[in-house]
Amino acid sequence: MTNLFVGNSYVLGMDIGGSHVTAGLVDLDNGLIVQDSLRRVELDSQGSTEEILNVWRGIVESCYSDMSKHIGLAMPGPCDYERGICHIDGLSKYSNLYGLNVCETLAHALSIPEENIQMTNDAACFLQGELDMGVGRKYQHPIGITLGTGCGTAKIRHGVGVDGELWQYPFNDGIVEDFISTKWFKRRYSELTGQEISGVKELTEMSNSEPSIRSVFKEFGFNLAKLIGLFVSEENPDAIILGGNMLKAQHIFLPKVQAELTKTGIKEPIHLSTLGESAAILGAASAYVKKKMNLKSKIA
């Protein structure tokens, strides 16, 4: 991709997570994160607006120093991404940003033009990064699913990653995120054992010693295969790309996913992210440039 900027000016990709923010300067001419620019900072996503913005501003300034600032935000939903407004509420993260124009507020804090910040769905950024610079480069219209605290879905439209918006899709006796999420693992393990666990990482570490944990992962694999089937039937993709921290446990649940997909006749290849956490950073920067190019073409 051709960079719109010259000299020593890069796009900063920021991946806004539920417990941390990861950011790095992206050289889009070469499709890589500039050496030594990567930052990861913990934050309380249930903190005040001021506390959250202070963390974001700090990570931008630590990456950019005195350079001109161009920022692509990979932001979890729901949000109005075109207008930069956060609609997150009741999801145990960023509820204090509800109704806030995130791009405008961050731009004001950094004393830069609002147009220098573009916000895109985080799952769409993940898929964009893999499409442009990762495992998706040989495909035209893959779909992406991110597995972490919640479930993110993304698809490609005219070469651009967009939110798949399946997290609230009716699923089993609830919605997708009720079953494809960290909270499902915690709830299901508690239902089976009466015990509490902190998250998927703990379950993964215990899986060799507790047979009941393997059954939880198999059930998750069944549900994930069902979601993939629904997504494939809607989009008819040429590949399926999975990402997110839950992939650290893929050796336990992925065989069940593949077995279920084989039963239902789904033959599209499944790929695991090759870029890891860098995918959303690279994709956020790429999405920034694509959006700026689109704005320029509309003006012209």
Residue 284, domain member (yes or no)? no
Q: What confidence tens digit (pLDDT) does each residue in 90-144 have?
A: 877 888 999 999 999 999 999 999 999 999 999 999 999 999 999 999 999 999 9
Residue 134, domain member (yes or no)? no
The reply to whether 160 and 239 lie within a common domain is yes
The reply to whether 34 and 159 lie within a common domain is no
Determine the Cα–Cα distance for residues 21 and 117; give it in Å rounded to an integer: 16
Q: What confidence tens digit (pLDDT) does each residue in 207-224 have?
A: 887 888 899 999 999 999
Adjacent-strand bridge partners of 12: 25, 71
Across the range 157-179, mean pLDDT stands at: 92
The reply to whether 112 and 153 lie within a common domain is no
Task: Please state, for a pLDDT cut of 90, what percent of the chain lies above it.
Answer: 65
Q: What is the CATH number of the domain that holds 85?
A: 3.30.420.40
Residue 292, domain member (yes or no)? no
Residue 297, domain member (yes or no)? no
Angle at 91 between CA 106 and CA 168, to 5 degrees: 110
The reply to whether 200 and 227 lie within a common domain is yes
Band (pLDDT 50/70/90 cuts) for residue 7 is: very low
Q: What confidence tens digit (pLDDT) does each residue in 226-283 have?
A: 999 999 999 999 999 999 989 999 999 999 999 999 999 999 999 999 999 899 999 9
DSSP string, 179-222: HSSHHHHHHHHHHHHS---S-HHHHHHHTTT-HHHHHHHHHHHH
The reply to whether 165 and 263 lie within a common domain is yes
Instruction: Write out the residue range of the structural domain in which residue 164 sits.
Output: 139-272
Q: What is the pTM of this model?
A: 0.89
Q: What's the chain's average pLDDT?
A: 89
Residue 114, domain member (yes or no)? yes
Reply yes or no on whether the pLDDT at 5 is more than 70. Answer: no
The count of domains in the chain is 2
Domain end among 99, 125, 151: 125
The reply to whether 77 and 166 lie within a common domain is no
Given this model, what pLDDT does residue 294 score?
63
Reply yes or no on whether the pLDDT at 4 is more than 50. Answer: no
The reply to whether 267 and 147 lie within a common domain is yes
Given this model, what pLDDT does residue 31 score?
85
Residue 211, domain member (yes or no)? yes
Count of alpha carbons within 13 Å of 125, Cβ hemisphere only? 35
The reply to whether 119 and 171 lie within a common domain is no
Residue 132, domain member (yes or no)? no
Q: What confidence tens digit (pLDDT) does each residue in 60-101 have?
A: 988 876 666 899 999 988 899 999 999 998 877 888 999 999
Residue 287, domain member (yes or no)? no
The reply to whether 117 and 171 lie within a common domain is no
